[in-house]
Amino acid sequence: MGAPAAIVKPRPRPGRGFSDAQQHMVLDLLHAPRFADQAPAEIYATLLDEGVYRCSIRTMYRILDANTEFRERRAQLRHPAYSKPELLAEEPNQV
């Protein structure tokens, strides 16, 4: 007999977290033609220069990730499966 299964409860939404409307507003801002080719850090800096603060850079990335619009763009090194060579000697002094 094993331990009883753990009860999984959904994580509560933070009290200070963005509402759906606020998240949609930030997403619209990130999709604006003016910012189409800029990273969230550049958008953040541009808005701060204009005296506008919507959210942090990290929050912009979280919202993009929640809408599956963010991925790693760097070429990640993929290591091929390596099989260790096996040497087989059938007679003395073959290996």
Chain segment 8-63, per-residue pLDDT in tens: 888 888 888 889 999 999 999 999 999 988 999 999 999 999 999 999 999 999 99
So what's the pLDDT on residue 48?
96
So what's the pLDDT on residue 27?
94
pTM, two decimals, is: 0.66
So what's the pLDDT on residue 43?
95
Residues 26, 55: contact at Cβ < 8 Å? yes
Residue 28 burial by Cβ neighbours in a 10 Å radius (0-12, 13-18, 19+): exposed
Higher pLDDT, 70 or 56: 56
For residue 26, which of 57, 50, 48, 51 has the smallest C-alpha distance?
57
Residue 30 burial by Cβ neighbours in a 10 Å radius (0-12, 13-18, 19+): buried
Each as own residue / partner, the long-range contacts of residues 58-61 (CB below 8 Å, 24 or more positions apart, any chain) are 59/18, 59/26, 60/26, 60/30
So what's the pLDDT on residue 1?
62
Does residue 78 have a pLDDT over 70?
yes
